[in-house]
Amino acid sequence: MSLTIRPVQKGEAALVLSLVRELAEYKNLSSEVDATVDLLDDALFRGHSSIYCDFAEWNGDVVGFALYFLNFSSFRGRNGLYLEDLFVRQSHREKGIGRAMLQHLADRCVSEGWTRFEWNVLDWNSPAIEFYKSCGATLMTEWTTCRVTGENLRQLAKGNLARGKT
């Protein structure tokens, strides 16, 4: 059996979207997906994009993907890699594909001089948590992700949300 990890090519945004939808279904978040082929194509291939996607191919068939982008650490003064999505189709799990993709991305960090490699995991996804720990990941339990979307985002942009003392 043969595993290849390769970057997405122009014209493959529909395949990326298909995998995103499979991931969303697995996470019970299908209703959250409003990405389109055109939006993904633009994000991945516009001028100086810092959005990247790599496919995992098993015997020539795409069976997984990693979608990631660069972040920046002011403390370190360098970029890091933020893994937005890592997904391997159910039929191809337990073959080392996820671990190979993480190794591939870690190697990219090291070779590019990027200072860290980060991602989030849902707290109910114990198989993923155990897998990530086995790959050397530290769960940053003292950090809480903050997110503003939808109507709250629009209201914050207008300055209409309650003001705190900070």
Query: Active-site residues: which are they?
Result: 132
Please give the Cα distance from 49 to 79 (Å, whole number).
15
Please give the Cα distance from 157 to 57 (Å, whole number).
42
For the four alpha carbons of 146, 129, 3 and 36, in that order, the dihedral sign comes to: negative
Length of the chain, in residues = 166
Residue 77, token pair as written in the block = 């003064």
Count Cβ neighbours within 10 Å for each residue of 136-155 and write b for 16 or more, e otherwise: eeeeeeeeeeeeeeeeeeee
| 62: β partners | 57
Q: Are 92 and 129 in contact (CB under 8 A)?
A: no
Please give the Cα distance from 54 to 100 (Å, whole number).
12
